[in-house]
Amino acid sequence: MAAIYLDYAATTPVAPEVVEQLCDCLGHEPGNPASSGHAYGRAAQARVEDARADVASVINADPREIVFTSGATEANNLAIQGAARFRAGQGRHIVVGATEHMAVLETVRALEFSGFQVSQVAAADDGRILPEAVTAALRADTILVAVMHANNETGVINDIAAIGACARRHGALMHVDAAQTVGKLALDVQGLDADLVALSAHKNHGPKGVGALWVRRRPRVRLTPLMYGGGHERGLRAGTLATHQIVGMAVALASAEQRRNADWSHAEGLGERLRERLAAVADWYENAAAAPRLPGIRSIGFAGIDGVSLATALADEVALSTGSACTTGSTEPSHVLRAMGQDAATAAQAVRLSWGRYTTPEEIDRAAMAIATVVNRMRAAEVNTTAS
């Protein structure tokens, strides 16, 4: 029997309707969207612009505010580096949440080598980045604030509207990594005091390798491009557009928006079921349990059990992770949990389970049974080793 897939926060299975549109584009759209001089190019361009409008509709944006990228990592880089370099004459200080994805933390770290200064805001004990903590970190030369909508390891949801209001009152731009929330939470960019929002396709049943950045037009946000070339995407992102991936992203997000309430309820029910099934296991806990969270992401720990060892022992039965899938090869305890105040030993116990649309109750039951069996076996082995 195949391992149960509980790593949706890393990437999700591609929806059948998305696969259908991807294949249709690959088989019937040979044109380059930038080749508007012939029918093939215009057809491809039309598919891209229809997709742009669909993505914009999901977040209540103007289609002209959508810039397609290779994913949320590139979108975060374009937003942060682009805004920082364009506004460098106004200031060189950036504020970020300490629980941000590495696509944000490594980007601001790189900017420090160019003379920018970065303040990281520690999380509250429940994992949230609090508006008052962001306000306390602002300085006269702060030009940009970056705080994610929901954390990819704990699922904790931040109050972006309140944090964005703090940034706006100060005159700083607000960037939001919404890779985990688009299509899961109601994401209305007009109701947020945000200026830049990074989106991903593959976190919500779309293809890997495509994402988008929302760039506010009024008041207009200006960015310095990361790549130069043929002036694609209104000069903000050079490179031939991948028509099939862009169309796939649009289909995935439109479908997710339509199914948002049903998917949320399904994920919530599975979370309750997992908690009930693990109740028989001694000394286990959920990280950030007191905070508002996405229903399909849980960071849990078992006292005395190393998370990496647990994940390795379960690999043939349950596919889960010990943190972000984007911190490749890292053996360090989660920086997210450390930013919440956990010591290294406690943070090292964590594993992340994430599920979604195609996860079944039966799979949750099997996964919980496998986890309980392995945890009890590891604890028994530790007792025997200590006794001998």
Query: Which residues belong to the active site?
Result: 326
- Distance separating alpha carbons of residues 74 and 355, to the nearest angstrom: 25
The structure tokens 């580096």 sit at 81
Of 76, 5, 21, nearest in space to 245 by CA: 21
At 136, give phi and psi (nearest 5°): -65, -25
Dump strand ranges (E) for 156-210.
173-177, 196-200
- Which residue, 248, 246, 230, 252, is CA-closest to 70? 246
Strand partners, 156: 293
- Per the structure block, which two tokens stand in for 79? 């937003």
Cis, bond preceding 63 (omega within 30 deg of 0): no
**DSSP-assigned letter for residue 371:** H
Residue 157, classed as helix, strand or coil, is: strand
Return the sign of the alpha-carbon dihedral for residues 305, 308, 311, 316: negative
Q: Are 246 and 207 in contact (CB under 8 A)?
A: no
- Bridge partners (DSSP) of residue 4 are 318
Alpha helices in 59-127 (DSSP H): 72-86, 102-112
